[in-house]
Structure 1
Amino acid sequence: MIKIPFIVSARAGKLLGRENFSNPEGAIIELVKNSYDADAKSCLVVFDIVFKIEKDEDGIDKKILNNDLSNIYIIDNGEGMSKDVIENQWMKIGTGNKETEFISKDKRVKTGAKGIGRFALDRLGFKAEMWTVSNDNNGFNWKMDWKQFDNSDKSISEITADLSDNDINIAEFLKTNFNHIKINNLFNEVSFNTGTVLKISNLKDDWFEKDIAGVFKSLEALIPPKELNMSFEVNFQHLQKPKEFGKVETAFFNDYDYKLTAKYDAEKLSVDFVITRNEMDIDVIKKKFSELYKNTKAPYDLKTLENKVFKYSKSINELLELEVDENNNKLLKDLGSFDLTFYYLKYNVSLKEGYPFKSISQKERRNVLDKFGGVKIYRDSFRVRPYGDTDNDWLKLGARVAQSPAGAGQRIGDWRVRPEQTAGIITISRKNNPDLIDKSDRSALQENDSYEIFKNIIIKVVKEFEVDRSKILNVFFKHFKILNEKLRENEIQRRAEDLVNKIIEERKVVEEKLYGKKYNSVDLFQQKRDEEERKKYEEAFKDTFKAIDDEKIEKDNEEIVQIRGLASLGLIVSSFAHELKEIKNNFDDINDLENIYTDLVSNESKKKIEYNDGINIIKSLKLDTEKIIHWVDYSLTAVKKDKRKRGNLNFIKYFDSLSQEWKNVLKNRNIELVIKKDTKAKYLFRAFEMDMNTIFSNLISNSIDSLDMQIKPAILVKQHF
C-alpha cells in the first residue's frame, strides 16, 4: 500500500478567492485592512479610471472602460515586506501566521486570519504589481498574472509570480507617477520610508462614478470611529474627479440627545452603565417646570438632569432576567467582555407639545444619521459588515416599535426607539470574544449561542436607555395631560355657556313677542329660574360635547391602529426577505429534478402513463413556483423604503414596472393588461410610489373581480394627466 497526496488544481485556488470576495468593493476593503495589519499610519486608495466612447449595435455612443489606461492603486506606509515574508507568507495560500501572531509590532490586533487576502487582487483585475520596502531598506518588485489560475490542467504549485530586487524610494516613485496636488501634499506630510504599493490593472469591473462613490462610502463606515482613537487614516482619490473625494472622515457624534455607554465584564458578570442626557433645556425646566421635581429622587431629580451624566451597574442576570445557574454563567463568561456606545438623535421636534427640548438642526442630524447611523460592530477597530447598514436592522428595533407604539412618556418602559434615529459602536476582539466568529464568506457573524446571547445583551442595554427616557418624559406627559384636560374642560365649558346664553337670549326675544312685556332683570323669581335653567342646559351640553370629542379621539385611534398594523405587516415581510429570496433561488432545483427524472427513467418506461404523470407533477410544481416567485418579487418590491419617499415619479416607467408585477397573475387568469402610452411624452410628477401602487392595484383588482372569467377581456389603462 502506498500513500498518495491530494493535488489541488489552480482553478480551485482561484474559486476559493472568488468565494470570499463576491464584489469588488469587498476586495478593496480587504486590501485596506491589510495596510492596517502592516501597522500603516496612512493608506491611500487611488482610482485612475479612463473611459472611451464606442458605438453600440444601434449606432449610439456608449461609454466603456479603457482597460489599457485604467488602474487601481492601494498605497500604505506600513512595515513593508521582506523577501522571506513574500516567499513564505504572501505566496502561501491559507497561511496561518495571523492566527498565531495576531498582535502586530505596533500592538494592533490584526484583522485578517484566513491567509487568502491576496486573492482580493485577483477579484479586481487580471494583473497585479507590487513594490514594497521593509525596515531593512531592501526593496522588491512582485508581478502576478492571475489568468494562470484559469488553466485547469495546472496544479496550484505550478502557478508562479515574478520577484525581483528593486531599490526604490516610495515617495519619489509615487510623485513621479502621480501628477496630483492632493497626493503630492500627502507625501509631503506623511513619511513613506517603508511601505507597499499595489497596482491592479486589466480591471474586471467597469467602475462607473456611482461604483467608486460606493467604495468611498463603505470606507467611511469601515475606518475606526474617532471614539476609538486609532492612529490610522485613509485618503481616497479619483484622478479624473480630483475635487470629489479626499480624506475618509469617520463617525464622530458631538450633537445627540442621549449617549449611553455600557461595558460588559464577562468575569464579574456585570454591566457598567454611563448615561449622558442631552435632550432637555435645563434653563427652561428650572424656569417653568421646577415644581414638577419637588419630590423626585436621583437619578430622575433636577440636580442629576443638570449634571447630565450619571453612572450605575447591574448584574448580567438582572439585566437579562435570567436565572443564576451554571450553564448560563458559563455561556456568559465564554462570550467575553465587550463595550457598547449608543447614541439617540431625534430629527424632529414638535413645538406644539410644549416639552422643554433643546433646539436642533434637523438637516444636520439627518445628514449625520444617513452617513453614520445604525448600530455597527467593530472587531479590533474594523467594521464587521453588514451590521448597521441602512437596510440591516439586525436588532429588530423597527419590529419592536411596531409591537409597542406608545409615545415616549406615555407609559414608562413601553416606548421603543426607532432604528433610523440611532447610532452605535460595539467593540469586540478576536482575543476577548473568540466565539463571535465570521461566516466563511465574511458576510456576517456565525449565529451560534454566543451570538444570540450577545445580541440579547445589546437589546437589553438599549432598553435601559428607553426606560430612562420614558421616565424623564413621563413627568411632562402627566403634566401636559392634566393641563390639556383642564383646557379641554374649559373649552367645553365655554362652548356650553355660549350655546346656553344664545338659547336664553333667543327665548327672551320670543317671550317678549308672545307676551308683550320686557325681561325684568330685578325679578328674583325670574333670576332663579334662569340660573337653574342655565345650569341644566350647561351640564347637558357639556356631556354632549365631551361625548363627541371622545368619539372623535376613539375614531382617530382606530385609524392609527390600522396604519400601524399595515406598517407591522411591511416589517414582517422585510424580516423574512432573506427566506423569501431563498425560495426564489430554489427554483432551479425543480429544473434539475426534471432532468434527473428524465435521465433515470428508461426509454421503455417513458412510453407508459406513469412517466407522463411524473412529468405533469413536475410541471405543476414549476407553475406553482412561478406564482410564488411572482408574489415574492411583488412583496419585496412593495415594502422597499424608496417607495415610501416622495419624489419625481416617471409614470411611463412606472406603468411598465406595474405591468411586469401583474404579468404572471393576469396570465394565469387569462387576462391581458394593455397600457397605451405616448413614448415621446414625459409624465413626471411628485408622488409617493407606494400610493400609486395602492391606487392602481385596487383598480386592477376591482376590474378582475367584475370581469366574466369565461372570456378573454382586456384591462385598458390610459394615461391622462
Structure 2
Amino acid sequence: MKNLKFTIEDREIAELLGRQNFSTKESAIFELLKNSYDAGAKTCDIYINNSYIKIIDSGSGMNELDIKINWMHVGKSNKGYKDKNNNRILTGSKGVGRFALARLGNRAKIISKKENYNPVHWETDWITSGFKELTDDVEMGTCIEITDLRDNWRLKDIESLKTFLNRAYKSEDMKVFVHFNDDKPYQIQSIFKDLKMGINYSSKILLNYDSKNMELTVTIESDEFTPEIGSVVDVNTANYYKDTFSMENELKIAKTIENSHFYLTQLGDFSAEFYFSLEKQITDVANKFMYKYNGLMGLDTNIALYRNDFSISSLEGKKDWLEIASRARRSPAAATHPTGSWRVRLNQIFGFVKIDKVINHNLKDLANRQGLEEDDFYHFFEDILHFGISRFEKHRQSIIRKIVEKRNTENKEKKEEKKKLSQFLKRPSTVTKMSKKEIVSLVTEIKDIQREAKEQSKVFKESEQKHKYDVRILNVLATQGLRASAIAHELQNKRNALSTGFQDIVSALEEYGFWEELNSDEYTRVSYKDVPKTLKNLEEINLKLIAFLDVILNKIEKNKFNSNVDSIESVITKIINVWEQQYNWLDFNFKINEIPRKYKFTDDVLEVIFDNLILNSIQHNELKDRLIIEIEVEVNGDFINLKYSDNGRGLHRKYKNDPGRILDVHETSREDGHGLGMWIVNNTLHMYDGKVIEIYGEDGFNIDLSLRG
C-alpha cells in the first residue's frame, strides 16, 4: 500500500487547537509563558496594549532547524523530562501549545536568536506561514508579537491576568513581568510564597502520598487555640498531629483488591499543602471556643493543582475541582455536633496539590491543559486527598467537642451560683439590704444573661443545623422502613400460605401418588430438577419471610414509642429471642443486675442500640459457623452501663489505632455498607446523656456504653 498523510488546513488547525482549545485569554498567555520557561529564560516580559501583545524572553532561542523540524511539526514535542543545563522540569509534552498564539490574535510574528546562529523570523496569518533568516544583530532569546487581537485588553483584564498568573505560576526560577501601556511593570509572585501562620491561616495540613507502600502521611500544624486549650486537651495534641494511613485499607471503592493495589501503586507519589482559617466570629463566640485569632487574612483562592511549578490551567485555584463545597453540603453538621461529621467549608480552606510530569504520568492532562482526565486514577487521587482532609476535620472536631463539654460543665456550675438574681426577682426590695459585693454579683448575673441572649441566635442556628442533619439521614432510613412495612402488611395477609404452603404441596403430591416417585434417585439426581429439595428451600425462605414480617410489624407498633421501660431484662430478652429465631447460628449470653423500675426511655431506644450492634456483628461475621454474643447490663443509680461483645473477626485493621472512627457517620469497612449503624447507636446514646466509653477489637468486637435512665 502507498503511504498517505493527512493534509490539514492551517486556518482550521488554528481554530481547533487555538481558539477552541484555550478557554480564556489568560490561559493562552500562560501557555506561551511555559515555552519561555522551557527555553531556560531567566526573565520573561509580557507587554500588552490594544494594538499588540509581546512576549519577550531571555531563553535559548530557536534557529532555522528548530523552526522547521520542531515548531512547524504539530503534535510533536522535543522536550523530555528535565533540562540538563538548568535542571528545570520541562512543561511541554503535547506539541500543541504554540497554537495559543491563534487564541490571542489573527496574526503572529516570532523573532528568535539561538547562540552561534543567525536570528530567524517566522510569521503567520493562519492561512500562510513564512520564514527567513535575519542578518540583524539581536539579543539571544525569543520575541513573540501578536497583532489583530481577538480580545480587548482593559485595566480590569490586566488585573485578572495578574491574579491568574499569581495563582498559576509557582516557580522562582524565571522572573515574569507584566507591562500594560505606560504603567509600572508588575512582577508575578506566587500567592503561596510568604504565607504566615497567625496572619493568613491558623492551621496547615500537609499530605504526602507514598505510592510504593500505598500510605498517606497526614501532618497538621496548628495555632488555632489560645493557651487556655491546655485545660481541655494537651497543648501539643492541639498544635500538632501526625499519622500514617494505609490507603489500601482505607479506600473502599467498588473494585477488586488487586485493581485497587494496581491503581494505588501506579498513581505515583504526590503531596498537598492546605491552609485553614475561620471567618470573623462574634467576640463572645471566639472566646467561648478559645480561638486565638478572629478573622485572618486568608487567600481569595481555592485549591490549586500544580504539575511541578505550573498549574493545570483551569485548576489554578479558581475552580472547586476537589468538590469541597459538595462535601460540606452532604454533611452539614457543625463542628460542635456531638455525633455528626463536620466538613470544612469552601471559604475556610485554600492551598495546593503538587504532582509531577513523570512520577504521576497516569494523571493525564486534557488536550487543552484545562483539567485532568477523570478516569480511575483520577478518582483514586481525589479519594486520597479527601481522606487526608477528613483527618484534619476529625482532629479539629474532637477538640471542639471537648471545648463544648467544658463550657457545658461551666454553665451548669454558673447556674448553681446564680442565686442573687432569683432572690431579687422574688423580692425586689431586698436590693436595699444587699452589700456592695452582692450588688456586683447581681449586676454580673444580669450582664451574663444579656450576653447569653446575644449568643442565642448563634446557638439556635447550630441547633437547627444539627437537627436538619440528623433528620435528613433518619428520614431516609424511615422512608425505607415504611416501604418495607407496606410490603410486610401485604404479605401478612398471605401468612397462612407462607407458613403451610410447603406441607400443603407435599400432602397433595402424596395424595396424588407422586411424592414417593419424586423422591427417587431418578428424579433427584439433577439438582435443579430435584422437586423435594426445591420445595424445602422455599419453605426455609418462607420461614425467613415470616420472621421478617414479625420484625417489621413489631418494630413500628405505636406503643413502643409511648410507654416507658419498666424492665430492661424483658426488653433485651425479647430482642434476643427475635434474633435467635432468624439466625440459628447465633448464641447469646445475657447477664443483668437490675431492680425493675420505671426508666426514662422507651422500648425502641434499647431496640435501636442492640439491633444495630447485633446486625453489625452478623454482617461482619457471615462466614462464621457459630457466633457468640455476650450482653452485660448493670444499673448503677441513674446510669445504665452496657457491655456488648462477640467472638467474631473484630475491628478492621484500619481502625486499630483509632477505634472511635467507627462511630463517624458513613464510616464503614464494607464495600456495600452505608456506615450508619454505629452512628445511630452513638446518636441514640447522646440523646439520653449517654456515651460510648470504650471500643476494642483485638479479640472479637467489644464495646462499652452508658446511658441515663
TM range (shorter): 0.5 to 0.7
Aligned counterparts of 1:10 and 1:557: Cα–Cα separation in 2 = 61
Q: Which residue is 1:14 aligned to?
A: 14
1:65 matched residue in structure 2:
none
Matches within 5 A, 1:152-191: 159-170=128-139
With over 3 angstroms needed to count, the CA separation of the structure-2 counterparts of 1:43 and 1:413, relative to structure 1, is: farther
Which residues in structure 2 correspond to 1:433-582 (within 5 Å)? 433-488=360-415, 490-491=417-418, 496-501=422-427, 556=460, 560-561=464-465
Q: Distance in 2 between matches of 1:246 and 1:557?
A: 45
SS of the residue 1:431 aligns to: coil
Question: 2:377 aligns to what SS in structure 1?
Answer: helix
Which residue of the other structure, out of 306, 320, 337, is the alignment partner of 2:269? 337
The amino acid that maps onto 2:284 is K
Q: Please tell me whether the aligned partners of residues 122 and 129 of structure 2 are also in contact (alpha carbons under 8 angstroms).
A: no
Question: Structure 2 matches for 1:49-60, cutoff 5 A?
Answer: 49=50
* Contact 1:409–1:471 under 8 Å retained in 2: no
CA deviation after TM superposition for structure 1 residue 494, in Å = 5.0
> Displacement of 1:504 after TM fit?
12
Conserved in 2, the CA contact under 8 Å of 1:264 and 1:337?
A: yes
**111-120 or 1-10: bigger deviation:** 1-10
- CA shift at 1:223, angstroms? 0.8
Quick one: distance in 2 between partners of 1:101 and 1:261?
26
Q: Deviations over 1:236-268 (max 9, x none)?
A: 11123337x344453232132111111101111
Matches of 2:5 and 2:75 in 1, distance apart? 18
Superposed, 1:114-129 pairs within 5 Å as 114-129=94-109
Contact 1:34 1:112 in 2 (8 A): yes
- Give yes or no for the alignment of 1:379 onto 2:312: no
In structure 2, the residue matched to 1:369 is 299
> Cα deviation per residue 1:194-231 (whole Å; 9 max; x = unaligned)?
32111112222221222222111111111116xxxx42
TM-score (norm 1): 0.56
The structure 1 residue matched to 2:173, chosen from 220, 231, 246, is: 231
Alignment partners' CA distance in 1, 2:21 and 2:55: 19
Aligned to 1:327, which of 254, 259, 277? 259
The code of the aligned residue for 1:87 comes to: K
**Contact kept in structure 2, 1:236 and 1:247, CA below 8 Å:** yes
SS at match of 1:132: strand
Q: Secondary structure at the match of 1:376?
A: strand
1:535-589 Cα distance to aligned partner (Å, 9 max, x none): xxxxxxxxxx9xxx9xx99994599449989xx9xxxxxxxxxxxxxxxxxxxxx
Deviations 1:135-175 (A, max 9, x none): x3324131313142xxxxxxxxxx431221345343xxxxx
Relative to 1, partners in 2 of residues 1:393 and 1:490: Cα closer, same or farther, differing over 3 Å?
A: farther
Task: Label 1:21 to 1:482 Cα distance change in 2 as closer, same or farther (>3 A).
Answer: same
- Contact 2:303/2:351 (<8 A) preserved: yes
Instruction: Quickly say closer, same or farther: Cα 1:504–1:13, change in 2 above 3 A.
Output: closer
Query: Aligned-pair distance for 1:129?
Result: 2.1
Letter in 2 for 1:251: F
Is the contact between residue 64 and residue 133 of structure 2 (CA under 8 Å) also seen in structure 1?
no
Decide whether the 8 Å contact of 1:104 with 1:110 is kept in 2. Answer: no
> How far is 1:15 from its partner?
2.5
1:398 corresponds to 2:330: no
Match of 1:220, SS? helix
Corresponding residue number in structure 2 for 1:96: 77
One-letter identity of the residue aligned with 1:241: D
Aligned 8 A contact 1:235 1:246 in 2 = yes
Following superposition, the deviation at residue 33 of structure 1 comes to 1.0
1:262 aligned partner = 207
1:652-671 alignment, distance < 5 Å: none
More displaced, 14-23 or 452-461? Answer: 14-23
Deviation at 1:102, TM superposition (A): 6.0
- CA change 1:103–1:280 in 2 (3 A) is same
C-alpha separation in 2, matches of 1:380 and 1:425: 11
- Tell me if structure 2 keeps the 8 A contact 1:95–1:114: yes
- SS state of the match for residue 20, structure 1? coil
CA distance in 2, matches of 1:394, 1:563: 29
Query: Which residue of 182, 187, 191 maps to 1:250?
Result: 191
The CA deviation at 1:11 is 3.1
Relative to structure 1, is the Cα distance of residues 386 and 481 closer, same or farther in structure 2, using a 3 angstrom cutoff? farther
Task: Confirm whether residue 418 of structure 1 aligns to residue 345 of structure 2.
Answer: yes
**Which residue is 1:81 aligned to?**
62
Q: Using the alignment, how far apart are the partners of 1:21 and 1:487 within structure 2?
A: 64
* Rounded Cα–Cα distance in structure 1 between residues aligned with 2:462 and 2:293: 32
CA distance, structure 2, for counterparts of residue 398 and residue 484 of structure 1: 34
**Equivalent AA in structure 1 for residue 365 of structure 2:** D
Distance 2:362 2:340 in 1: 32
- Per the alignment, residue 714 of structure 1 pairs with none
2:230 & 2:113 partners in 1: Cα distance? 67
For structure 2, the 5+ residue unaligned runs are 432-448, 473-709
- Residue 93 of structure 2, aligned match among 94, 113, 138: 113
Q: Please state how far the C-alpha of 1:439 moved relative to its aligned partner.
A: 1.9
Counterpart residue number, 1:196: 142
SS at match of 2:379: helix
The percentage of aligned residue pairs carrying the same residue is 27
SS of 1:314's equivalent in the other structure is strand
After TM superposition, give the deviation of residue 17 of structure 1 in Å.
Answer: 2.1
Structure 1 or 2: more helix by fraction: 1
Task: Give the CA deviation at 1:116.
Answer: 1.7
Instruction: For residue 453 of structure 1, report the CA deviation from its aligned partner.
Output: 0.9
- The Cα of 1:410 is off from its aligned counterpart by 4.1
Once the two structures are superposed, residues 375-434 of structure 1 have per-residue CA deviations (whole angstroms, 9 ceiling, x without a partner) of 1110121101323544x2222222333333333344377222111121121111121112
**Any idea what SS the aligned residue of 2:143 has?**
strand
Structure-2-length-normalised TM-score? 0.57
Unaligned segments of structure 1, at least 5 residues: 50-69, 149-158, 171-193, 294-300, 506-544, 569-721
Paired with 2:292 and 2:265, the residues of 1 have a C-alpha distance of 43
